[in-house]
Amino acid sequence: MKIVITTPIYPPEMGGPAVYVKELAGRLAEKHSVSVVMYGRLPEKVQGVSFVCVKKDRPLFLRLPAFLFSFLKEAKKADIIFSENGASIELPVGIFSLFSKKPVIFHKGDKLAEKRVEKSSLLRWIESFASKRAKNVVEDVPLKRPEILPFEPEPKEAFEKYEVSWKEHLNKLEEIFKDAK
């Protein structure tokens, strides 16, 4: 299956869904063809994953169409679109979904983006537009990766729970992907 992931933020940038999307892309690439369409310049590479980067330093009226056209080029080859929340992603993906029958899975994993949505009627409208056009809306997020601290024993039990949470998350996504096709 060819999966295109869209995200407003990706490592080396920190925050929000960056770490989640990197981990998700790597894990999905073990079974699927995965590409990430993102805002940024120098993404941290993941084996088996291709990247399309749109520069963030452009004005919004240039950046959004650039993202849309880059995304459309990748989406032509996709079986599934997995879209991380954030207005700069939701609007182009929502527009795409108006003209395509390809399934869009919308992931609401960025809690800071959700707080911004609560404060803005425009952002609420954009999120609502994207959510209604999606085949499925997922809010599930696996556990955060445990920290390894100097002079502390390795948190083996925490890592086991982390891996179990990812396995359960991926199983849920695989079912959603099957149902969406």
Please give the distance of CA 99 from its chain centroid, rounded to a whole number: 21
pLDDT value of residue 180: 87
Please provide residue 148's backbone torsions phi and psi, each rounded to the nearest 5 degrees: -105, 115
pLDDT value of residue 158: 94
pLDDT value of residue 60: 85
- Are residues 94 and 85 in contact, defined by beta-carbon separation less than 8 angstroms? no
CATH code of 2-180, in short, is: 3.40.50.2000
Q: For residue 105, what are the CA distances in angstroms to 39, 45, 133, 137, 167?
A: 19, 23, 9, 6, 18
- Are residues 18 and 11 in contact, defined by beta-carbon separation less than 8 angstroms? yes
pLDDT value of residue 156: 92
User: Could you tell me which of 162, 174, 99, 95 has the C-alpha nearest to residue 130?
Assistant: 95
> How high is the mean pLDDT in each 10-residue block of the chain (181 residues)?
95 87 96 95 91 90 92 94 90 90 91 85 91 92 90 91 97 94 76
Pairing of strands 33-39, 136-138: unpaired
What are the residue ranges spanned by the domains of the chain? 2-180
pLDDT value of residue 172: 96
pTM: 0.92
**Cβ contacts of 138 within 8 Å, gap of 6 or more:** 105, 106, 107, 108, 109, 172, 173, 176
Please provide residue 52's backbone torsions phi and psi, each rounded to the nearest 5 degrees: -125, 120
